[in-house]
Structure 1
């Protein structure tokens, strides 16, 4: 994990996440945007990634599973 001041390390679960290393934000796995912990609403427990919104979460799912997923 990158050593960025304020970057938190989380363990993503369903329907919550646990803080492994305290911080103020995480990074979106798709856009790289900073997401304040209090604003974090989208993540994947399976892929252990955070997303800044539903579009990024969908894009990540398609990247991991492929557009042909059924």
Structure 2
């Protein structure tokens, strides 16, 4: 399989390491869970995460909810 071919997603929840502008797959899977809402986020749809807290977020609203809860917004 070359680097441009997509593998079928592994079912279940993935474990990722969130980096600045990138992700590292620790355990393959089809989705991660939003740290605020708990809803599943398909890896292709993941746009928001925190490097410092190593959390994924489903939307900008979820990010703001987390920041407000931490007293940072």
What interval of TM-score do these two structures reach, taking the shorter chain for normalisation? 0.7 to 0.9
TM-score (norm 2): 0.80
d(CA) in 2 for partners of 1:10, 1:35: 12
Give the corresponding residue for 1:24.
30
Task: Name which of 51, 54, 67 aligns with 1:61.
Answer: 67
Query: What is the aligned residue count?
Result: 63
Task: State the TM-score, normalized to the length of structure 1.
Answer: 0.83
Give every structure 1 segment of 4 or more consecutive aligned residues whose post-TM-superposition deviation is greater than 2 Å.
none
Deviations 1:30-51 (A, max 9, x none): 0000000000000000110000
Instruction: Structure 2 unaligned segments of length 5 or more: list them.
Output: 1-10
Which consecutive unaligned segments of at least 5 residues does structure 1 have? none
**Which protein is bigger by CA-based radius of gyration?**
2
Q: Which of the numbers 51, 57, 60 marks the counterpart of 1:51?
A: 57
Residue 17 of structure 1: CA displacement? 1.1
CA distance in 1, matches of 2:42, 2:29: 9
